[in-house]
Structure 1
Amino acid sequence: MTGGKLKYWNTGRATLISFFVFGIMGAIQGGIEQSWNTSVYSIAFISSRGVVIGLISAIIATIICISRNRSIAKASTPMPASTGLAVPNRIEPRFGGSSLAPDIGISPAIARERQAQSAKPRRFNNFIARHWRGELPLWLSYWVIGFLGNIVIGIILMIAHAAAVSRDYDPRLILGHLVVIWLGIGAMAPWQFVGVWRSAEARIRERARMGRNAPWAALAKLAVVLGVLRLGAALATTGIPQITEASRMVFLDDPDLPPYALRIMRNGTELEVMGGFKYGLHDDLIRLLRAAPKVRAIHLDSIGGRVGEAEKVYKTIRDRGFVTYVAHECMSACTVAFAGGRERWMGRQAKLGFHAPDFAGMRAADLADMTQGQREIFAASGFDKAFVDRAFSTPNNKMWTPSVEELSRARVVTHVSNGSDFAISGYGATVTREKIATQFQAKQPILATLRNVSPKDFDAIIDGFFSGYQDGRTESELIAAARQRLLAAVRAFIPLADDAVLIELGRLLVDEYTSLAGKDPSLCYQYASGAADIDPRNFPAALIQRETALHGRVLKTASQRPALPRQDLEALFAKVGAELAKRIGTEKLRLLTGSDVSPAQYADYCAGSIAFYQEIIRLNEADAAALMREIFGGK
């Protein structure tokens, strides 16, 4: 092989191998740096993105190599095949230290000055100082300190991560972890970058004195520039947001989350957790459980908070075999605690909300790893896998609130309460009489009307409800009591209502009696005769809504009305009685005026009451309204 071709081959092969090594190791380094990042939440292996970057680097290296070899081939002059002269040995430069080649083109004065500078004693001459000054060979600065150094940092981060996740959630540890990591990076990275840059500069000067290029050194400097940009981007998008968020958690008590509160109810057998899941909630929960050992059910009313704190609450609920119950809402991280219940209850109007977690400065891959712990919790609680997948596919800025039926099918909820199983809850962390009054008026506009018409009756309803809330009575008990007080207050204003309102009230009574009779004649008798209060849950929701709206009209139209003469009223009642006798018979008619009704006669009494109001509303509007005023005015 001729000298030109030998030079062409050796240079091309060396360059090609070097660039391929640079590309492949760059891929590994990129993958490791991307996986062993500064996040304290995930550590994965080499990412596909890093491998792709390495392959692209290898392709670029091949193109550069081919171009360089063509230039060398054009510049090479073949030597004669046989000259009888020996080819002189080449002097190859070293990657560090001084070259064996003379300083071509440099004056003796400059050469002496450089020798004097190199002979000047250094204050520090250890490994760290020599790298900082760029005195180490480029291969050592770049591959050992740069590449292998990042691997060592990655291993340290992995160990630190393992130590952090082995402990319970504590924002102080998270903040300390982040600060130590970023301080370490802030000290290590500049030392790496400056040392590689200076070593590359020394390598370029050394090759220049020999009249040669230093492509490796140029690439090393390019890598330093890219590294600095990448570090700056990581600090801006990851480091600063994470440290800021952790600092707010530690020093400002997580101000974005509402304060939490705990309440013991129902003679110490139930406990309500309200507000945000933030650090300290679990510790306070444990202290309260020690003081109330009879607790068997945990009520949850929260918009969510920190998943780490929710996981601690979940473990306590699971380990102690508590029942969980949601009367109002349990969103985001709260659902993790809810999953710990031996039985999981929710009210018919309650909501459970699910979405993917989030934390400042975390990437999508880190968040995916973060959901793994929650997925395991939901799976252990028996949640349907398809349900869990959909829950975590919901972006963090949105909330998925499945229906009660969906939650039951997915085994998220095991029981649905009608309000009679647990103490009333879900009114927030700070419950006052004024707050209940405001919420009542917002949910039931009729109460706002009653407050204007009869403040005394309004206050009686609110006082009774607030007292029952403090005593831990069930929601159904309190609603039934409030309804009875409201009915009593409205009944006093019925004789003063408009004629059209009274006719509509007669139709409502017919529909209510008919509904109860079809369910249980005894309920119909109790309601029609006024012998006992009826739980409003015995009525269809549509009838309750009609009744509430009609009572509001009663209050709004109430005013003084002229009374009908007694003889006219008696004539109207006689007319209605005659029609009833034809319709149901005199025996059943007597039941309506008698006081001794046996259970066997409840159905007949109910049928007579329905027929009675049907006959009244068949009269003309004025006569029908007059009879309704007389009936309710005498009650």
Structure 2
Amino acid sequence: MRYLLNHLRGRHPLWQSFWVNGVGVRLTLYALILLALSAAPISILAAAALVGADALCLLWQSVGYFRAADARVRDTGSMLPTWGGMIALVIAVFVVASQWWALALATRPGEDGPSFAEQKALERQAEYQIVRQLDGNLLFQGQIVLGVTKALDRELAQGPIPTRITLASDGGNVFEARGLAKLIMTHEIQTHVEDTCSSACTLVFIAGSQRQFGPDARLGFHSYLLEDAQRLPGFNIEAEQARDRAFMLGQGVSADFITRVYETPSSDIWFPEHGFLRQSGVVTQTP
């Protein structure tokens, strides 16, 4: 303790204050912090204790050295020890700051939960369900969001390929709906609606090899909005609607029906009567 107080009061020779109490102690602390970092992750409490101890040590080193330097200035009149100490202090501050930052990072485990992209994917997955039913057929319910096409593809790859998929959705991303539609067409899966299938969901429904709905089913149609997509360079909403118009025509839907779909404002929705849906080729089978 006396040794520490003597340094703090500037009573040690200048060389001892700098090389032993300054450089030597600083290198020892540097090694101890590296040792702590090698055991990462470490607790926040341990990291805080190391940072606090290091800060107090740096203060002790600096005060003791500059008091010893002041004594040398009074004896010799040379300011060199003071300026040299200032340069050494600046370097020391940069070193300890980097060590403290490393200690802060080391309090975080290597696996600190999902990344931002993974978290967003988990949030999107919570918006829909793809359920394998007892008869082997599928139920899709919820929003058509990014990633849903890959999810259905994985389910189909697990097999067996279902005969039918039942849809219950208010729509969502039209590009993902096209992906679902392509998978359904590729595997020649029938589509079925018991409740409501609206907006982008109707593209998925029309992709079915056979299309059936229950007595209480509703199919809701409207023109496209696609606000986010319209910001993309070269995007043309009329071209996108023309693409899906051709798709629906190819699936046997009448041209008059499709015209009515795209005459319905995106802010509104049209629920055609069951008879008109059958007449227009939207529904191909009765329950």
Q: Normalising by structure 2, what TM-score?
A: 0.54
Shift of 1:257: 10
Q: Does 1:351 align with 2:218?
A: yes
Instruction: Tell whether the 8 Å contact from 1:254 to 1:278 is kept in structure 2 after alignment.
Output: no
Higher RCO (C-alpha 8 Å, min separation 6): 2
Which position in structure 1 is the counterpart of 2:102? none
5+ long unaligned stretches in structure 1 = 1-248, 418-635
Number of residue pairs aligned between Structure 1 and Structure 2: 168
Q: Does 1:264 align with 2:264?
A: no
Shift of 1:258: 7.2
Which amino acid is 1:263 matched to?
V
What CA distance in whole angstroms lies between the structure 2 residues aligned with 1:416 and 1:305?
27
Shift of 1:284: 1.1
Which position in structure 2 is the counterpart of 1:30? none
Shift of 1:252: 4.6
Shift of 1:291: 2.0
What CA distance in whole angstroms lies between the structure 2 residues aligned with 1:250 and 1:399?
34
CA change 1:254–1:368 in 2 (3 A) is: farther
What CA distance in whole angstroms lies between the structure 2 residues aligned with 1:260 and 1:339?
20
What CA distance in whole angstroms lies between the structure 2 residues aligned with 1:384 and 1:250?
42
Q: Does 1:386 align with 2:253?
A: no
Q: Does 1:277 align with 2:144?
A: yes
What CA distance in whole angstroms lies between the structure 1 residues aligned with 2:195 and 2:201?
12
What CA distance in whole angstroms lies between the structure 2 residues aligned with 1:274 and 1:322?
16
Instruction: Tell whether the 8 Å contact from 1:296 to 1:322 is kept in structure 2 after alignment.
Output: yes
Which amino acid is 1:283 matched to?
K
Which position in structure 2 is the counterpart of 1:410? 280
Instruction: Tell whether the 8 Å contact from 2:198 to 2:219 is kept in structure 1 after alignment.
Output: yes
Which position in structure 2 is the counterpart of 1:317? 184
What CA distance in whole angstroms lies between the structure 1 residues aligned with 2:207 and 2:242?
17
Which amino acid is 2:134 matched to?
R
CA change 1:311–1:262 in 2 (3 A) is: same
Instruction: Tell whether the 8 Å contact from 2:168 to 2:194 is kept in structure 1 after alignment.
Output: yes
Which amino acid is 1:350 matched to?
A
What CA distance in whole angstroms lies between the structure 1 residues aligned with 2:223 and 2:125?
17
Which position in structure 1 is the counterpart of 2:175? 308
What CA distance in whole angstroms lies between the structure 1 residues aligned with 2:284 and 2:195?
17
CA change 1:403–1:292 in 2 (3 A) is: same
5+ long unaligned stretches in structure 2 = 1-116
1:416 counterpart SS class:
coil
- Please say which structure displays the higher CA radius of gyration: 1
Which amino acid is 2:152 matched to?
L
What CA distance in whole angstroms lies between the structure 1 residues aligned with 2:161 and 2:123?
33
What CA distance in whole angstroms lies between the structure 1 residues aligned with 2:172 and 2:122?
9
CA change 1:369–1:250 in 2 (3 A) is: farther
Shift of 1:290: 2.0
Q: Normalising by structure 1, what TM-score?
A: 0.25
CA change 1:254–1:398 in 2 (3 A) is: farther
What CA distance in whole angstroms lies between the structure 2 residues aligned with 1:318 and 1:286?
12
What CA distance in whole angstroms lies between the structure 1 residues aligned with 2:243 and 2:125?
22
Give deviations 1:390-443, integer Å, cap 9, x for gaps: 1011111110010101100100001122xxxxxxxxxxxxxxxxxxxxxxxxxx
CA change 1:307–1:271 in 2 (3 A) is: same
1:328 counterpart SS class:
strand
What CA distance in whole angstroms lies between the structure 1 residues aligned with 2:123 and 2:220?
21
Shift of 1:306: 0.6
Instruction: Identify the match of residue 241 of structure 2 among 371, 380, 384.
Output: 371
CA change 1:299–1:278 in 2 (3 A) is: same
What CA distance in whole angstroms lies between the structure 2 residues aligned with 1:372 and 1:349?
30
Deviates more, 1:285-294 or 1:350-359: 285-294
Which amino acid is 2:127 matched to?
P
Which amino acid is 2:248 matched to?
F
Which position in structure 2 is the counterpart of 1:331? 198
CA change 1:280–1:256 in 2 (3 A) is: closer
CA change 1:380–1:293 in 2 (3 A) is: same
Which position in structure 2 is the counterpart of 1:399? 269
Which position in structure 1 is the counterpart of 2:160? 293
Which structure shows the higher helix fraction? 1
What CA distance in whole angstroms lies between the structure 2 residues aligned with 1:330 and 1:401?
10
CA RMSD of aligned residues (A): 2.6
Which amino acid is 2:225 matched to?
D
Q: Does 1:340 align with 2:212?
A: no
Which amino acid is 1:388 matched to?
I
Instruction: Tell whether the 8 Å contact from 1:258 to 1:276 is kept in structure 2 after alignment.
Output: no
2:236 counterpart SS class:
helix
Give aligned-pair identity as a percent: 29
Shift of 1:266: 3.0
